[in-house]
């Protein structure tokens, strides 16, 4: 375990040390700013690694259309100021044609302002999707990530209504804007559907003990709890509820850690709602992913890298459509009108248009642990939601 992480740290450090890369004509330079360390690394480091693995494999296979990708990786620790300096280096030193973000929402603003000024597109692949990518989308910003606070919330409430339309619903959020926005939207929908709310509990970052928050939800009569926040927070909320003997169902966002954790927790009342496939179902798509990880010899959990892997697929498809002009402008032109086959890792394709850089239709699946089979199961298969 120790050796693995040391090796990982050294690999990344070596990549970072490689520094500015001079782009050859047949080379596309892509900058990746990721939370490889720091508080949010638990969610974002693995997808970033997965994305790197995918790109490495592309290059080894001779690239796409004869073009290879030079991936410049900087760690931003999920921190805005570091993301800002990463952005500066990407744009002034490395002359990247595309930036990928796999990090916290706190890092978005500085990256976005710098990149849009220079006309370089940003792909959010593993970061939560910023509102700017949704219709009406701002130019240059695209998102392929499998979770999005507001859409996840809509799907969660929808599934909850299918399951138990009379439940009083409590909401657990973390004191960061994106999480609160998601839960406020969820509460709005719940109230709109004539269901009862037990209120939103917002835990500040760095909360030592989630028990008092859980107590309040229980005392407000929450029969079901919705949570959308970093995995470490939503799962501690859930732990705290269960510790007080609460027996309701909890619906949480499907983040990178979800599958591995759910297999450890083994609680059939814990549902994850998200748009990524899980590895356990052993489909052709997941088999390919697992095989690629095994073959690479990199010590990664396939369960945790799906979003990064999809980011790699997006890069592959975009470059596949790219002509001789590999400028940022040309890349943006391709991205603003493309339909990407998600190859079985999602419910359907990712379609970007001039006005919509999120996707026209988003497909959600619900997973949970099943006591009967002693394994993970799909609680409800893909369901399409139109993005308005």
Partner 1 sequence: MQIVANIIVLTSLYALVASGYVLVYKVSRVLNLAHGELMILGAYLLVATSAGITSDPLIAIALTAVFSIIVGLSVYLLLMREMTGQPVLAAVLTTVALGILLRGAMVLIWGPQQLNVASMLSFENASVVLTDSIRVSTASLWLVICTVVVYLGLLAFLHMSRWGMRMRASGQNPLLAAQRGINLHTVYALAWTLSTFSGSIAGVLVALDSRLDVNMAVIGLKAFPAALVGGLDSLHGALIGAGVIAVLEVLLIHYVNPLLSDVVPFLVLIAILIVRPWGLFGTKEELNRV
Question: Does residue 6 touch partner 1 according to CB under 8 A?
Answer: yes
Interacting residue with partner 1 among 23, 39, 59, 330 (CB under 8 A): 39
- Residue 387 beta carbon to partner 1: minimum distance, rounded to whole angstroms: 31
177 binding partner 1? (CB under 8 A): no
Among residues 28, 30, 32, 46, the one that binds partner 1 under rule CB under 8 A: 46
Q: What's the Cα-to-Cα distance from 174 to each of 217, 360, 372, rounded to whole Å?
A: 14, 28, 33
| Interface region with partner 1, contact rule CB under 8 A, candidates 80-88, 110-118, 199-207, 285-293 | 199-207
Q: CA–CA distance from 380 to each of 8, 159, 340 (Å)?
A: 36, 8, 24
Query: To the nearest whole angstrom, how small is the minimum distance from the Cβ of residue 284 to partner 1?
Result: 28
CB of 254 within 8 A of CB of 272? yes
Number of residues interacting with partner 1: please give it, by CB under 8 A.
46
When binding is defined by CB under 8 A, the residue of 69, 218, 225, 314 that contacts partner 1 is 218
Question: Which position among 11, 207, 287, 349 is part of the footprint of partner 1 (CB under 8 A)?
Answer: 207
Q: How far is the CB of 354 from partner 1 (least distance, A)?
A: 38
Binding status of residue 268 toward partner 1 by CB under 8 A: no
**Rounded to the nearest whole angstrom, what is the least distance from the CB of residue 371 to partner 1 in the complex?**
16
The nearest distance, CB 9 to partner 1, in angstroms, is: 6
Spatial separation of the C-alpha atoms in residues 387 and 382, rounded to whole Å: 15
Among 235, 252, 298, 328, binds partner 1 (CB under 8 A): 235
| Complex with partner 1: residue 121 or 248, whichever CB lies closer | 248
Of the ranges 1-9, 26-34, 113-121, 358-366, which one interacts with partner 1 (CB under 8 A)? 1-9
The smaller minimum CB distance to partner 1, of residues 181 and 333, is found at 181
Report phi then psi at 11, rounded to 5.
-60, -50
- Selected from 177, 212, 355, 375, the binder of partner 1 by CB under 8 A is 212
Applying CB under 8 A, among 37, 85, 283, 349 the residue interacting with partner 1 is: 37
Answer yes or no whether residue 361 interacts with partner 1 by CB under 8 A: no
Residue 216 near partner 1 by CB under 8 A:
yes
Kindly tell me which of 233 and 334 has the beta carbon lying closer to partner 1. 233
Residues 6+ apart with CB under 8 A from 297: none
- Name the segment binding partner 1 (CB under 8 A); options: 82-90, 93-101, 236-244, 310-318: 236-244
Q: Binding to partner 1 by residue 374, rule CB under 8 A?
A: no
Question: What's the closest the beta carbon of residue 214 comes to partner 1, in angstroms?
Answer: 9
* Secondary structure (H, E, C), the chain: CHHHHHHHHHHHHHHHHCCCCCCCCCEEEEEEEECCCCCCHHHHHHHHHHHHHHHHHHHHCCCECCEEEEEEEEECCCCHHHHHHHHHHHHHCCCCCEEEEECCHHHHHHHHHHHHHHCCCEEECCCCCCHHHCCCCCCCEEECCCCCHHHHHHHHHHHHHHHCCCCEEEEEEECCHHHHHHHHHHHHHHHHCCCEEEEEEEECCCCCCCHHHHHHHHHCCCCEEEECCCHHHHHHHHHHHHHCCCCCEEEEECCCCHHHHHHHHCCCCEEEEECCCCHHHCCHHHHHHHHHHHHHCCCCCHHHCHHHHHHHHHHHHHHHCCCCCCCHHHHHHHHCCEEECCCCCCCCCEEECCCCCCCCEEEEEEEEEECCCCEEEEEEEEEEEECC
Q: Give the integer Cα–Cα distance in Å for 123 and 275.
A: 18
Taking CB under 8 A as the rule, does residue 14 contact partner 1?
Answer: no
Q: Which stretch binds partner 1 (CB under 8 A): 31-39, 326-334, 335-343, 368-376?
A: 31-39
Minimum Å gap between C-beta 253 and partner 1 is 15
> Looking at 33-41, 267-275, 347-355, 376-384, which segment touches partner 1 (CB under 8 A)?
33-41
Residues that bind partner 1 (CB under 8 A): 1-2, 4-6, 9, 36-39, 41-42, 45-46, 175, 201-213, 215-216, 218-219, 231-232, 235-236, 239-240, 242-245, 257, 261, 264-265
């Amino acid at each position: 375990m120790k050796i693995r992480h040391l090796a990982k740290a050294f690999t990344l450090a070596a990549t970072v040390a490689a520094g500015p890369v001079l782009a050859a004509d047949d080379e596309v330079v892509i900058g990746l700013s990721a939370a490889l360390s720091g508080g949010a690394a638990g969610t974002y480091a693995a997808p970033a690694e997965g994305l790197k693995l995918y790109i490495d494999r592309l290059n080894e296979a001779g690239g796409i259309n004869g073009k290879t990708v030079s991936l410049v990786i900087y760690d931003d620790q999920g921190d805005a100021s570091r993301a800002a300096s990463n952005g500066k280096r990407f744009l002034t030193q490395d002359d990247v044609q595309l930036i990928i973000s796999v990090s916290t929402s706190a890092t978005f603003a500085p990256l976005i302002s710098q990149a849009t000024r220079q006309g370089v597109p940003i792909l959010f692949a593993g970061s939560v999707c910023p509102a700017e990518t949704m219709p009406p989308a701002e130019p240059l910003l695209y998102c392929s990530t499998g979770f999005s606070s507001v859409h996840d919330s809509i799907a969660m409430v929808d599934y909850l209504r299918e399951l138990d339309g009379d439940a009083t619903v409590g909401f657990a959020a973390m004191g960061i804007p994106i999480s609160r926005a998601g839960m406020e939207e969820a509460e709005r929908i719940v109230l709109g559907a004539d269901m009862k709310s037990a209120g939103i509990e917002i835990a500040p970052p760095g909360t030592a003990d989630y028990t008092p928050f859980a107590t309040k939800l229980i005392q407000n009569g929450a029969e079901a709890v919705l949570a959308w926040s970093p995995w470490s927070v939503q799962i501690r909320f859930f732990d705290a509820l269960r510790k007080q003997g609460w027996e309701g169902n909890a619906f949480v966002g499907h983040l990178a850690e979800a599958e591995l954790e759910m297999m450890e927790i083994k609680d059939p009342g814990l549902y994850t709602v998200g748009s990524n496939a899980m590895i356990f179902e052993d489909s052709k798509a997941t088999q390919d992913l697992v095989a690629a990880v095994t073959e690479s010899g990199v010590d990664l959990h396939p369960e945790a890298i799906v979003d990064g892997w999809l980011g790699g697929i997006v890069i592959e498809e975009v470059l596949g459509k790219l002509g001789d002009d590999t400028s940022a402008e040309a890349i943006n032109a391709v991205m603003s009108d493309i339909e990407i086959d998600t190859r079985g890792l999602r419910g359907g394709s990712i379609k970007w248009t001039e006005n919509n850089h999120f996707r026209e239709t988003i497909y959600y699946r619900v997973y949970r642990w099943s006591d009967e089979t002693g394994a993970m199961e799909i609680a409800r298969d893909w369901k399409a939601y139109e993005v308005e």
